[in-house]
Every structure is written in C-alpha cells, then in structure tokens.
Structure 1
Amino acid sequence: MAPTREMSLETKERIVKLLEEGNSSRMVAKDVGCSQSAVSKIWTKYKQHGMVVKAKRTGRPRKTSKRQDKQLKAICLENRKSTTKQMKHKWEEVGVNVCDRTVRNRLKEMGFQYRKAKRKPALTPKHKRTRLQWAKERQSWTVDDWMKVVFSDESRICIGQGDDAGTFVWCRSSEIYEEACLKKTTKFPQSLMIWGCMSGKGTGEMTVVNSSINAQVYIDILDSFLIPSIEQMYLQEKLDRKWGMFCVFAVQVLYLWESL
C-alpha cells in the first residue's frame, strides 16, 4: 500500500483556527478537503500539546518521487521484455539510484506483474478483419449449429529447438494480449507436422505430414482422413458423402485464412 501524504503545517493551523472560531469538525473537514476523523485527531493533539505538532512517521522514507515513478513506468512500457536490472540501469541514467527490489516494488504498485508472454500467431491487419467478420457472421449460431461443424488444423512438434522457451514480460492483468506483451509465433517452421480434426461428436483421425503443405497435399489429407473421420463421427445420423463435403467446405475457411 502506498504511503499517505503528510498534511502540511499550514493546513493543520487552519483547522485549529476554524475549530476555535466555533465551526463544526464536519464543516472544517469540508473546507480544507480532508476527512472528519483527521480533523478530530489534529484537534485532540493540539489540546494535548497546546500547539500544532508534526507527527513522527515510522518506516524508511520513500526513495522515489511520483515524477520518478512515472519515469520508471515509461521505461517499462518502452520495452515490456526488460528485466528489473535493465530497467534499474536505465532509471539510473535519469538520476534515480535504487536497488532491483525497489524497481520491482514500484512496478507492482502500478499493477505490473512479471509473467510469461502469451503465444499468438503474427496476424496481419487483413487477417484480423477477415476473422472478425467470420465471427460476427456466426455469433448467433446455436449449439446444434456448431455440432455440425468439423474443425481441422496442423500442429508442429519441435524437437531440440529453443524457440519454445518461455518469455517473460511486465504487464497488467488487462494487458496480457497487448502487442507489446505477446510472444509472436510463426507458421510452417521446419519441423514435424501433425494433422488432426475434431467436432462436437468427438475426435477424428490423425496423420503425420511429411512434406510442406500446399493445396494438393491439403486436398489429399481432406480426402484420405477428413472424410472418413466425418463418416465415422456422424455414422449414427447416416450422413451421405454430400454432407461430408459440405463440412469440408466449412473447414477449409481456416486454411484459406492462413494462405491469405
């Protein structure tokens, strides 16, 4: 919790003067802009000591000012992936000499936490507009509507790669998906690819993709694995191949986005 601001000696003297003139503590508190309890405490101490005294404050004095704290906030927002030690060195360049712990304490007071960056594909503005439009067109779909859709996608398995290590960033709870707080991922790295599908009826077949995915390879996957998966998942509803091809068309939307 941040320390409270000490009331000035002039304000305390004004409070005492107003009370001596016969004003109520409620009116005095409203006049000077403080709480009624603060007025009562000052009046009690005045009657005890016969004068306005400055209270002794416990604890170590705060080493940074509000202006310096704002400078630290600007340093943090400039590069969310900076460590406390790196921010400490930058803070020292503007004349603030503190330890790493003070840097962490000030950032926590501002609501920042050092957490692992969320992983998210690097999308272009066109990708974002297309996906938002797709979501808006289906925002009124019911559970039964979604039960008729089969989703498929590929996923890579990295073996001996270090790019999946966690990246930590400074951010507040409401900022975990801000651009500066994300660890960007790329599609189609040189690694083993796995293809699979699922729907409200369950999971379908899975296969290893041993080559780069192009239009022909993707069509072969849909024909060899997606169609049999659809027939198996929807066997009880006795769907014919035409219904299966309709589901394929719905699924291909995701692939078209990735190829934009």
Structure 2
Amino acid sequence: MPRLTSPERERAIGRLEAGDTPEAVAATFQCHITTIYRLLQRFVITGSTADAERSGRPRVTTPRQDRHIFRSHVAHPFRTAAETARTVIGTHQAPISRQTASRRLRFRGLKNCRPARGPVLSVRHRQARLHWAQGLLNWNNVRWQNVLFSDESRFCIDHADGRVRVWRRSGYRYADNCVEENNAWGGLSLMLWGAIGHNQVLGPVIFQGLGPGPGNGVTAQRYVDQVLHPHVLPFFQAHGNWVFQHDNARPHTVRATQDLLHRSGIQVMPWPALSPDMNPIEQFWDLLQTQLNRVVPRPTTVADLDRAVRQAWTNIPRQASNTSSPHFTLHQASLSIFPFAP
C-alpha cells in the first residue's frame, strides 16, 4: 500500500480527534488499518506524526579513509575503484567493497568517465606544441576566424562502438542474436578530406583510386589533383586573407605540394607534429561518425557507404543559429581550440 505523506498524516490525526473510527480513516486514505493504529500510537507518545530518526547502516570507512580514497584517485585518475577497495580495511575489519569506494568518490565530485584519447608525446613534441601556442597568443578572434582547418579521415563500413548494449537472459551471452559481429579492421572503407573555417566548409572529397598508389589512400598526387586544385586554390582566390592549415602528413609536406601552395600565394600555418587533438575538425569527424552510426540498415558496399557519408555530411549544421543548442555546429568547431585573446 502507498505510504502516507506528512499532510495526510496530519489530516488522519485530525479525523481521529474529530471522532472518526480508525477503520473509517483507513478507508478514506486507502491504507491498512494497522497504519492508522501505529500513527495514533506515535502521536500519543511523541506528540508528532513524523517518523522517528533512524540510525541507518553504520559507515564502514572513517573520514580519514574517505580522504585517502579521494586523494589516491586525484593523484592516479586511472586507478580503479576495485583496486582502492582492496587496500582499504574498513571498520568491519575487512576490505571495503568496490561500490563503497565508488560512492565515496562520487560524493567528493569525481565521476567515472571515458578518457580523452591523445597521441603519445615525447618531451620534444610537448615543447614544440608549447612554442606553437606561445607564438599565437596575440591572435584575436578575427585572425582565428580566417583559418581554414583541414584533415583526412577514414570511415569504415564496420565500426566497433563500446557503448553498444544488448538485453539478454542469463546464459545467452553467445546466442546468435546476442553477438555483435564486426570486422576487426573495419572492413571496406573510404578516405575522406574536408576543411572547416568560420562559417565555411569545403568538401567532402572522397579519394578515388586514381594515379599512383594502391586503393583509396592519400598520395601526394591525389592530394594535389583531388583537393588542392579543385577546392583549396579556388577558395583562397576568393578569400586571399585566409590561412591554410594541414598537418605534417607526407602528402602535405612533399616538394610538389609545398611548391604549389607557395606559387599560389597561400599562407600555410606551421603545425606541430602529433597534434591531431589540437585541430577542431576532429570534432567534425566525430559528429560525422555519430551520424553514420545511426544509419539503418548499415552500408554493406562502398557505394552505400559513399552515399551515407555524403548524406551525413549535408545533415551537419553549418552555422550556430542558437548558442544554447547542445548540437555541434561548424561555428563552434572553428572556435574550439582554446580561449582566444581579446
């Protein structure tokens, strides 16, 4: 039966004091008659209808142990709650449970999240990234809004998404309809090039197996023929004050590519090695992959994947019409590297 709320308890006592029988009051509030008798007994003894204070289950950790649990995970964020639980002996003279350690961490404001993934950086790489950032400290919003960020990314027919869940009964882990099959290497794929800037977008360019080199990978000749000539050069002819960014991949740094950009008068932004996480277009790729993960049925051929990629590309918002919208926009991506100087 439902539990009586505090106002209902007061009304029940009022009905009893007015002369109603416990049976009539129980019928009015649709509760068991024992509930009314116990409520009346509590009111007579304590003069209140509120529940008596409960001691609750005794805590198995001391405040000092709580601080130790918190500090150990602040110092070592990848430490698991189970590891911490095995090293903490509670007041019951036994190791605490993983759930207890997790509750102590959540109470202190720590959350169990997926880690951000980044490249392995040596001291030299870190110094290069720092010097790059220090050299751009004086850039204001206008200068950053005139940067065209570009990159390539591979999209596969199969994808491994660790967030997929399956509802199944015990013992059905390997049932045919409960096993998610996927290709370890992603299966057939497409290599895609794109570029974004402040309310600007170029692409998509899906590399075709033309010229030297096998498959649909990026070669210097394909980069020049399929990206620079048809897309980048016309853009900079119309926007001469912009800066072009691409990373240090081999097709971008060969002499033929550099000579073409130099002859065309295109200013290229220096880029530190192993720094894909500093390129805002990575957020664009992430949203594009999210759009592809929602395609039903899944593409089974390269032609299907080509159509799905192009459709997902057109579905990505190009401009922020509402700054409070939770959806990613091209405007937000182009301003997401770090806070700009005023």
Q: Normalised by the size of structure 1, how large is the TM-score?
A: 0.50
Indicate the structure with greater helix content. 1
Indicate the structure with greater strand content. 1
Q: Normalised by the size of structure 2, how large is the TM-score?
A: 0.40
